[in-house]
Structure 1
Amino acid sequence: MSQPRITARIERTEDDVVHTYELDGVVYDSLEKLQAALDGVDAAPTDVPEATAQ
């Protein structure tokens, strides 16, 4: 079985740092949700807005 492809993104906004994780085209907003998806548990993906140009 091949390893899943996971992409982590860290974006700095004016007020915060946003971490998101993508697995097979689905975006998660926490490592816990990503781990649940990897474990086969239904985890609600996150609807992450596109980063705005600064």
Structure 2
Amino acid sequence: MAFKIDPEKSYDVKLSRVVKRGRFTYYPLNEINMRGTLVEAILAQEGDEVLDYAREV
């Protein structure tokens, strides 16, 4: 599944697994609000299967 992410918008994201990004660890427990630039970086690092969904806010 290819996600189309706009870097200028915010997204409510549900992860499918734990993601480590720099000092932060994101857990797949709840929705996380992220900027599009961070969502794109996580997708580039982990691949499309890391996201259950990403909804534009």
Taking structure 2 as the reference length, the TM-score comes to 0.30
The structure with the greater share of residues assigned to strand is: 2
Greater relative contact order, per chain length (Cα 8 Å cut-off, separation 6+): 2
Higher helix share: 2
TM-score, normalised via structure 1 length: 0.31
